Amino acid sequence: MEILQRAGHGVRALPTTGPGTAGSIAAQCVNDGADLILAAGGDGTINEVVNGMVNSFVPLGILPGGTANVLAMELGLGTKMESAAGVVGQCLPERISVGMIKNEMYPAGRHFLLMTGAGLDAHIVYHMSAGWKAALGKVAYWIGGFAQLGRRLPEFETHVGQRQMRASFVLASRVRNYGGDIEIARTVSLLEDRFEVIVFEGQSAFPYLRYLLGIALRRLDHTRGVHVLHATEVEMEAGSERIYVQIDGEFAGWLPSQLKIVPDSLTLLTPPGFRASVSQPITDQAQWTTSPTH
Which domains does the chain carry?
2-96 (3.40.50.10330), 99-263 (2.60.200.40)
Contact indicator for 91, 270 with CB cutoff of 8 Å: yes
Helix crossing, 22-31 with 43-53: angle to 10°? 40
* CA distances, 92 to each of 28, 66, 113, 208, 274 (Å): 24, 24, 18, 39, 9
Task: Give the whole-angstrom CA distance, residue 284 versus residue 129.
Answer: 44
User: Residue 19 has what DSSP assignment?
Assistant: T
In terms of Cβ atoms closer than 10 Å to its own Cβ (0-12, 13-18, 19+), residue 145 is: middle
The neighbour count for residue 218, using CB atoms within 10 Å, is 11
* Residue 216: per-residue pLDDT: 86
Task: Give the whole-angstrom CA distance, residue 234 versus residue 6.
Answer: 46
- Kindly list the averaged pLDDT for each block of 10 residues, start to end, along the chain of length 294: 92 92 97 96 94 97 86 90 93 97 97 95 72 48 51 91 94 88 89 96 87 89 94 93 93 97 97 80 37 32
What global pTM score does this model have?
0.86
Task: Give the whole-angstrom CA distance, residue 68 versus residue 133.
Answer: 11
* Residue 128: per-residue pLDDT: 61
* Residue 69: per-residue pLDDT: 87
* Residue 155: per-residue pLDDT: 94
CB-based burial, 172-188: b 16+ in 10 Å, e otherwise: bbbbbbbbbeeebbbbb
Task: Give the whole-angstrom CA distance, residue 52 versus residue 46.
Answer: 10
